[in-house]
Structure 1
Amino acid sequence: MKNLILAFFLILGTSLMSQTTVTGKVADENGNPVPSANIVVVGVAEGTVADFDGNFTLTTSQTPPFDLKISSIGYSTATVAVTENNQSLAVILNENSTALDEIVISASRTPERIFESPVSVERFGLKEIKNTTAESFYGGLQNLKGVDINTNSLTFQSINTRGFATFANTRFMQLVDGMDNTAPGLNFVLGNLVGMSELDVQSVEILPGASSALYGAGAFNGILFMRSKNPWDFQGISAYGKTGITSQEAAGDNQYYDFGIRAAHAFSDKFAAKATFSFLKGEDWHANRTDDLANPGADRSNPAYNGLNVYGDEVGTVLNFDVLGGLPAGTVGSAFVSRTGYNESDLTNYNAESVKTDFSLHYRPFADDLELIYNGRIGRGTTIYQGINRYAVQGFTMQQHKLELKNDNFFIRGYIVSENSGDAYDTRFTAINVNRRWKSDLAWFGDYAATFIGAKLGVGSGVLATDEQAHAAARAAADTGRYEPGSAQFKSAFNAVTSDGDLTTGSKFIDNTKFRHVNGNYNLAHLIDDWADIQVGGSWREYELNSSGTIFTDIDGPITYQEYGGYMQVQKKLADERLKLTVSGRYDKNEFFDGFFSPRAGFSVTLGENRNHNLRASIQQGFRNPTTQDLFIGLDAGQAILVGSAPTNLDRDIRTFPVSQPGQVFTGGAETVQVTGRSAYENAYSLSSVGAFSATGDPTALEIATPGLVQPEEITAVEAGYRAQLGKFTIDLSGYYNSYANFIANVTTIVPLYGQVGDNSLSVLALANGDFKAYQAYTNSTVDINSWGATIGVDTKILGDFDLGVNYTFTDLDFDKVAFPDFRTNFNTPKHRVKASFGNTELFKNFGFGVNYRWSDSYFWEASFADGDVPSFTVLDAQVNYTVPGIKSVFKAGASNILNEEYFQAVGSGLIGSIYYVSWTINP
């Protein structure tokens, strides 16, 4: 790394020979400042942003004369000439420009207008943050076309594009000032729980679809980029306060508040610093569904009841009352019986909290564009996470620390991301083990059976009870003395269980995983007289898994592994800058897999006499490495045992199980057997065939499961689009087709505890005796999976200055579920979505308002926690805002889901209610 930095300094020598400084102010036709206007040197990847008062300072390696382009959403682009060093400019922007004139960086790693981007890109800047109707800027992203947000909890929202959405969204990347915001052990982004304060957000860009050619393995199904305000251009103290209520039928009305502060100052032309702090607290959305998905219509009187948001009742067994009572077959019969569970509300307090701090030091040794940055970001949050179970994430902490050296032509950065699970725990295992601390499963089922048999035979009363009466009596007897929620015994057991990381006796979630990352990029354009935009770069990452054996199979110590990659992109403008060609390629290597090459080729062409039409098309290949959990998980989640398929992982996962009929034939006389994770892949039956065997008793229905060890997932993505400015109408249309190979997903296999699958004797006997375990294997689809979709957005002004926007998104999946019944794609995306916005940023002087409408089609939700239908829903958000320039303040009142029509986006999560809020932002 030392040699790499020295090489960069040597190459930089030519760019440090001379510098030109330009200052100025950007204002509208009325003389009002235009904050956050983009100032870009024409033909060069150099630029800056105006501050709140419209002032800017630009330092560039270009020698006058050259041109600057100044743009801001809502205004036409202006071009001004720079003829001398230290020139001062007064720039006037006229209204009536469109979002297509906004400058983005993410699509090509260089500044360019959205209008000319070779791929689809969505942008959310300071103006959108001010006018968002959602309670936060992050929630406001769901109003962008083609962007979905699944609400897991009040403080955890998961962004997704183009399908395959779960809360553990491992196919979507989020970069915050260039740092991957993925939680290292969880392998997915926790929304903005430990992200960025809205006071420090300069812009948000979203690239839907694959971008592996520039961003590597994680950039598979979309990327979100957040850029913060630097302390040179955005100085001073900013603050906001926000309060209101959350309203939900299950939770009632509860106070919600959020506040933050940002301070930034340039102490000289060489040194600047900034710091931000924000705090949010509220009541999370309660999840209180008690229906039994496996037995529709069943209630707690059913002996096999297993409620959706009721935990502990997953522990069940078949009780053969005739065998247990020594009775002739058919006397009393048998039944599947589950233990009595606890409601989710008994197991968590539903606190939602987010605390975020961010601080950075900026040093420019030569008072020019060469800059050394240290950035530290620490977030702490409390939320609910729904994975295979529902987790109460309390005090989860994630830290990011970065050191970066950059100028307008290059950057090299190294950073570390680490997480600490805090006091997080699994609510399902909390209920299971609180029950067991009071009474063992063996004792509970024994009491149940004895009481049931006695009631059916009329022992003591002389009256023969019905099955319903006998089951009620049996449960009441077995539950006698059970710890009631709120009691001292319950609290004591709860505290003991949630502080114990062994899931056989506790429920604590332990994770201190981290990763280290180094990446760099160099733009060679200035070295070749801007003949073309040529970029080269690379990255290296090391994972360190550390869960003390509670999540991963790292019981003997942390597990480490590495991956690296490099890329190159060439972008060239031709035909009077109407045609832009882009070609890029990247090679990546993970130590467990063969290297992968990701190429991308695209073009955009500007048409029309006024250059107001643009066509674009691109094709690229991408890949996604298996996650840390895909490779090294070793977790008994209750419903199934999860075993990652790294070759070194299969034999590290060793578990001991009791068997129902110990004997010389298959257990050597032992009461228990040992099974390794390898059995999930090499000695198991398919889930559907075991179901058929259970229904028919026919062993020929059994099929051997043969999941292969997980390999990188691949995608071929084709996209085409059209953008146009037709008078007052802006049109943005795109369509895509994605073809996936080696699609990574989970397959549930059934492992017999003795015998070899296919022997038609011992393994079948194990199934018949109930001596088997469900395992979740991590593997790849044996067939290609395809998806496709399209978006169209139309924006215009009506009735003078009123903004109106409408967009529609279509998404569909092509997968033969009948041929592969046990394979789960987790597509989880509605086929049709419609969004609309209406408002006016200046209805009258300093007063604006906005309304957002969203409608989602119904869809099927498929995830490890539960499957089921999600009904269609409609959401209406609204806000009004008033600006007081004299005190640099914006006052806002608004509501999310103002109609209070509660809805859910995933089976098992809480219904989403309404948030009503007022806010005051100073110096936004």
Structure 2
Amino acid sequence: MVFIAFASLSMGAQTTITGVVKDAKTGETLPGANIKISRKAVGTNTDFDGKFVLTTTDVPPFTLEISMLGFKTEKVEITKNNQEVAVSLTENETSLDEIVVSASRTPERIMESPVTVERMDTRAIKNTSAPSFYDGLENLKGVDINTNSLTFKSVNTRGFATFANTRFMQLVDGMDNSSPALNFAIGNLLGMSELDVKTVELLPGASSALYGANAFNGIMFMTSKSPFDDQGISVSVKGGITSQEAAGNNEFYDMNIRMAYAFSDKFAAKATLAYLDGTEWFATDYRNNREGTSLEGDYIAGTRETDRNYDGLNIYGDEVSTNIRGVAQTLESLGIIPNGASALIPSENISRTGYEERDLMSYEAKSVKFGGSLNYRPFGDDRLEIIWNSKFGVGNTIYQGTNRYNIQDFYLAQHKLEFRGKNFFVRGYVTNEDAGNSYDTRFAAININRAWKDDNTWFGEYVGAYLQGTLGGLNSDQAHAIARQTAETGRFEPGTPEFQAAFDRVTSDPDLVTGSKFQDQTKLYHGDVNYNFQDVIDWAEFQVGGSYRRYSLNSNGSIFTDYDGPIDYDEYGVYTQMQKKFLEDDRLKFTASIRYDKAQNFDGNFSPRVSLAYAGGENKNQNFRASFQTGFRNPTTQDQYIGLNAGRAYLVGSAPDNLDRYQTQPLLVSGFGQGILGTATTTVSGRAAYENSFAASSVTAGAPVAANVPLVAPEKVTAYEVGYRGLVNAGSQRITVDLSAYYNSYEDFIAGKNVITPFYGTVGDNSLSLAALQNGDFTVFQTYTNSAADINSYGASIGLNTKILNGFDLGLNYTYAKFDFDRASDPDFEPSFNTPEHKVKLQFGKPDLFENFGFNINLRWQDEYLWESTFMDATIEGRTVLDAQINYSIPSIKSVFKLGGANLTGQEYLSAPGVGAIGSQYYLSWTINN
């Protein structure tokens, strides 16, 4: 309403310009072309007939810029009032003529970029067959998207991915879109409205030389539209259904509105609002987690009916397990059962009965995003622009890490102040997050069980009933059946008031001994500065810059060891880049960069990059490139400061000041190894996990050896890449070719390592610690360290694009990815490469099949691969996914209607073990004035 009120204020027009814009090749008029006064916010668009009228207070002479996506920008000199202009725009020969900024922090054609770049702009977003622009990123060459849930999707390139994906950085208008505490890039759950996206640029591979820590495996830049350049009110309404065998058919809605207005040459503002509501993919993978997998990732069968120690993947609470003979021996020592009765109890592990995930989650997917900016140009042009940008979001989703987390009412806010001009920017922003009512589903189930009946009572009743059944003449299977039935008497059943009351109490309690809620109000403060000396130094282009970041961890001890208050630590970096062009027509471009970064807990690190790019051919359309660069990744907040009971293991970060701060909850000690009767409890420190533990694999192999886990250090990668981009003539056919190949060598790869810590004894010095293993007096830790293994990855990709059959777009790309790792050199290390060796993607469509009608089809195929994570290791089957859309424009009401579907074959597939199977999604959208 404020924008409309300001828009109604009249301005005295002194100059009127009229004109028409046409396609230079076909002669047809071009609706929607942008006309603006050079370096100012004054402008308009062509109408349905390609005509425009521009009124302005500017007095000639001045310059008009006429532009449109997919065409080269033209400039026209205006010398008088009431001048009429006729402009013909020439279509870009290829999408590789588009301009990108991310590769070198300076504008350049994709064709001439020194590194691999993938790009999506507003035209590609309008044409995507995916349900959203973010889903559409998966159709880019070399890109993987792992689906955590309907609203949380993780982008990755070149392997080594998890859902947290800490090796890949995502920037939204220059702001890091990662959760500072949970360490995952939150996708577009709380990101950018589709109506406000201008471009998405993606750099696969190491980018630390310019972008610092964590730009390790790749980096993605999402840039929004400026309120000076893209004005007006745009609306998008999308609805449809998701279809899954486990969940059935469920409706979803996705609505967006964008308002932008330039009140003058100096001041503009915009606001965006996005709302999404739907139903998550149900997770119903009930394979037996206790049995595990082979090294190849194949499951070993097991169900509750065949395994009394069953631990279903999407069933929680059944992780609680114990040896019932040990229980019987304790009952015998306390005189509760007769002497000698324990000999009748088998030495067998039994698990409690768990709850299915669908009983512990509402599966409501929701996202509400608001963004706004105030833009001020003190001089009325783009020499200096001051931007205040705020983003707010709240939503529900599912995150899979070591456990499955119901992210409920998660809140994230970012506020940025930026000063930018032609050759510089200075920005600072703060990220605030609040976990809301989020909780851990595994501990929700464990503690609902314990709220009804504690473990000692449950297992005691089990043993007692088994003993009575055996003495009564039952065979072992019958005795086990009656024992579980007896122990289960009075269990809280889902849907009952008793279950709901226990659920509400447990999920609001942050103490994992009795509850499952996790608290988090972590903040991140970040500043960036960059200056380009191109107007000062003319023999080469120099840039300098730097960044500073401070984390303030604040989980109240529920995630980190911040029991006594927030934990603060800092990182900073500085960099410089030189770019020089040689030979006739500047055909050879040399780029050299170096960056120095220092984090509070680690030594400083240098990251150099050197590249050469040669532009051959008459129009510089045959481009060859080669680069050498390094990247590094600082250990995450969790790698350093986590202190969490994850059920199967205690997670403890390896920052030096974290080791003594973390203590486990009281743990039951049998006492037999110390020659005492009865039971006792003890706690184990984080330091013991690193300094007094056995390697878990050695215990499993029956030959325990000391783990001696080093404290975690930054990991590094050295990357080599060559590539070619160009136009190839095949008879009358012109084909765009984009080819690249890379080789990465990793050092100090950050890895979690499981260790077994005895309750007593010193590992390696005496036999007491071995007695602790024999008596079950130990606990499992996951430590954070670096692998000494020799790890390398390599791969290649090729993309081909052309037009066939009189204007149909045809694109085909292939990606190959492989890694080398000698498992015998570090058997406790899981590299989590987590990407298929082969991927093929096909695109076919035409935006103007006939007047106002277009279509697009995307087909993706990938082969099977091994997924490794702390949640579960398993083989992910190969899949073929088909998406398609048709669209119809009605220019008279500035509207586009789109009907489409994702995974149209209906063959459900998993992104990872334990997530919901992804079914089909069908949608109908109506977009106005975009």
Would you call these one fold, judging by a TM-score over 0.5?
A: yes
**Which residue in 2 is equivalent to 1:333?**
346
2:301 aligned to which of 284, 297, 302: 297
Whether 1:546 aligns to 2:554 is: yes
| Same amino acid, percent of matched pairs | 56
Q: Residue type matched to 1:300 in 2? A: R
Structure 1 distance, partners of 2:438, 2:788, is 37
Are residues 1:498 and 2:523 paired? no
CA 65–667 in structure 1, closer or farther in 2 if over 3 Å, else same: farther
SS at match of 1:306: coil
Residues 52 and 923, structure 1, Cα contact 8 Å, conserved in 2: no
What SS does the aligned partner of 1:359 have?
strand
Alignment of 1:511 onto 2:520: yes
Q: Please say if 1:365 is aligned against 2:378.
A: yes
Secondary structure at 1:788 match in 2:
strand
* The one of 180, 196, 217 aligned to 2:176: 180
Q: Give yes or no for contact 2:315–2:355 (8 Å, CA) kept in 1.
A: yes
Distance 1:38 1:810 in 2: 43
Amino acid at match of 1:214: L
**SS in structure 2 opposite 1:818?**
helix
Alignment partner for residue 637 of structure 2, among 605, 628, 631? Answer: 628
Quick one: distance in 2 between partners of 1:89 and 1:606?
Answer: 35
Range moving further from structure 2, 671-680 or 435-444: 671-680
1:652-681 CA-partner distances (Å, limit 9, x unpaired): 001243343337948999812221101111
- 1:581 aligned onto 2:594: no
Cα separation, 1, equivalents of 2:249 and 2:86: 51
Once residues 747 and 56 of structure 1 are traced to their aligned partners in structure 2, the CA distance between those partners, rounded to angstroms, is: 67
Q: Which residue of 2 aligns with 1:537?
A: 545
- Structure 1 segment 53-72 matched on structure 2, within 5 A: 53=46, 72=69
Residue 289 of structure 1, CA deviation: 1.4
**Alpha-carbon distance, 1:819 to partner:** 2.3
CA distance in 1 between partners of 2:589 and 2:53 (Å): 29
RMSD over equivalenced CA pairs, Å: 2.7
What is the deviation of 1:93?
2.2
- In the superposition, relative to structure 1, how do residues 669 and 299 fare at CA in structure 2: closer, same or farther (>3 Å)? closer
* Match of residue 153 from structure 2: 157
Spell out the pairing of 1:342-491 with structure 2 (5 A cutoff): 342-369=355-382, 370-458=384-472, 464-491=473-500
1:824 Cα deviation after fit: 1.3
Is 1:690 aligned to 2:699, yes or no? yes
1:916 corresponds to? 922
Q: How many residues align?
A: 882
Deviation at 1:293, TM superposition (A): 3.3
- Structure 1 residues 580-659: aligned runs within 5 Å: 580-659=589-668
Distance 1:39 1:270, change over 3 A: closer
Q: Which of 874, 879, 890 is the matching residue for 2:885?
A: 879
Match of 2:120 in 1: 124
Partner of 1:10: none
Alpha carbons of structure 1 residues 556 and 245: separation in structure 2 relative to 1, 3 Å: same
1:214 and 1:665 map into 2 onto residues whose CA distance is 58
What is residue 319 of structure 2 aligned with on the other side?
314
C-alpha distance in structure 1 between counterparts of 2:895 and 2:469, whole Å: 73
TM-fit CA distance, 1:692: 1.8
Instruction: Name 1:461's counterpart in structure 2.
Output: none
Instruction: State whether residues 754 and 782 of structure 2, in contact with CA within 8 Å, keep that contact through their aligned partners in structure 1.
Output: yes
CA distance in 2, matches of 1:571, 1:23: 42
Would the alpha carbon gap of residues 285 and 754 (structure 1) be closer, same or farther in structure 2, given more than 3 Å must change?
same
Measured in 1, the distance between the counterparts of 2:283 and 2:33 equals 41
Opposite residue 310 of structure 1, the aligned amino acid is I
Query: Which sits farther off after the overlay, 814-823 or 888-897?
Result: 814-823
Over 3 Å counting, the alpha-carbon distance change for 1:650 and 1:894 in structure 2 is: same
- Matching of residues 842-881 of structure 1 within 5 Å: 842-881=848-887
In the TM superposition, residue 856 of structure 1 has moved relative to its aligned partner by 1.1
Alpha carbons of structure 1 residues 36 and 713: separation in structure 2 relative to 1, 3 Å: farther
- Tell me how far 1:818 sits from its aligned partner: 2.3
Range with greater deviation from structure 2 (465-474 or 168-177) = 465-474
1:675 counterpart SS class: coil
- Cα-to-partner distance string for 1:601-639 (whole Å, 9 max, x where unaligned): 101101123422100111111111111111100001011
Answer whether contact 1:667 1:673 (CA < 8 A) is retained.
no
Give CA-to-partner distance per residue, 1:516-555, whole Å, 9 cap, x none. 0111111110122x43221111111110000000000000
Q: Does 1:837 align with 2:839?
A: no
Q: Is the 8 A contact 1:71 1:101 kept in 2?
A: no
AA aligned to 1:501 is: P
Deviations 1:797-817 (A, max 9, x none): 111111110000000111111
Separation in structure 2 between the aligned mates of residue 89 and residue 48 of structure 1, nearest angstrom = 20
Mapped partners of 1:84, 1:589: distance in 2: 55
| 1:18 alignment partner in structure 2 | none
Contact 1:135/1:895 (<8 A) preserved:
yes
1:747-758 matched pairs, under 5 angstroms: 747-758=753-764
- Structure 2 CA distance for partners of 1:499 and 1:619, relative to 1, 3 Å: same
Give the distance between the partners of 1:49 and 1:168, measured in 2 at CA.
Answer: 43
Deviation at 1:387, TM superposition (A): 0.5
Question: For 1:174, what is the secondary structure of its paired residue?
Answer: strand
Report the counterpart of residue 572 of structure 1 in structure 2: 580
Deviations 1:838-875 (A, max 9, x none): 00010001110000000111000100111111000110
- Between the aligned partners of 1:268 and 1:821, the Cα distance in structure 2 is 65
Q: 1:667 to 1:200 in 2, by over 3 A?
A: farther
The worse-fitting range, judged by mean Cα deviation, of 329-338 and 909-918 is 329-338
**1:69-120 C-alpha deviation (Å, 9 max, x unpaired):** 96733x4x46657698999975422346211011111101111100000000
Deviation at residue 887 of structure 1 after TM alignment? 1.4
Alignment partner of 2:193 out of 197, 202, 206: 197
8 Å Cα contact 2:328-2:463 kept in structure 1: no
Q: Which amino acid aligns with 1:383?
A: T
Task: Quote the offset at 1:175 in angstroms.
Answer: 0.6
SS in 1 for 2:361: coil
Given candidates 142, 146, 157, the residue that maps to 2:142 is: 146
Change in CA separation of 1:623 and 1:724 when aligned onto 2, cut-off 3 Å = same
> What runs of 5+ residues in structure 2 fail to find an aligned partner?
1-16, 292-299
Which amino acid counterpart does residue 670 of structure 2 have in structure 1? Q
2:268 match: 272
CA displacement at 1:348 relative to structure 2: 0.4
Contact 2:669 2:682 in 1 (8 A): no
Spell out, residue by residue over 1:355-393, the C-alpha distance to the aligned partner (whole angstroms, 9 max, x if none). 100001011112121111100001111011100000000
Q: Flag the 1:912–1:605 CA change in 2: closer, same or farther, 3 A.
A: same
**Structure 1 residues 139 and 23, CA gap change in structure 2 (3 angstroms):** farther
Partners of 2:270 and 2:395 lie apart in 1 by 22
- Note the alpha carbon deviations across 1:550-600, whole angstroms, 9 max, x for none: 000000000001111111111122211211111111111111111111111
Q: Distance in 1 between matches of 2:209 and 2:856?
A: 38
Indicate which of 680, 683, 688 corresponds to 1:671: 680
User: In 2 relative to 1, CA 654–264 (structure 1 residues): closer, same or farther, beyond 3 Å?
Assistant: same
Q: How far did 1:409 drift?
A: 1.1
Distance in 2 (alpha carbons) for counterparts of 1:84 and 1:723: 41
**Structure 1 residue 781 corresponds to structure 2 residue 810:** no
Q: What CA distance in whole angstroms lies between the structure 2 residues aligned with 1:494 and 1:215?
A: 44
In structure 2, which of residues 777, 786, 795 is the aligned counterpart of residue 771 of structure 1? 777
Q: Is the 8 Å Cα contact of residues 157 and 191 (structure 1) preserved in structure 2?
A: yes
* Alignment CA distance shift 1:818-1:265 (3 Å): same
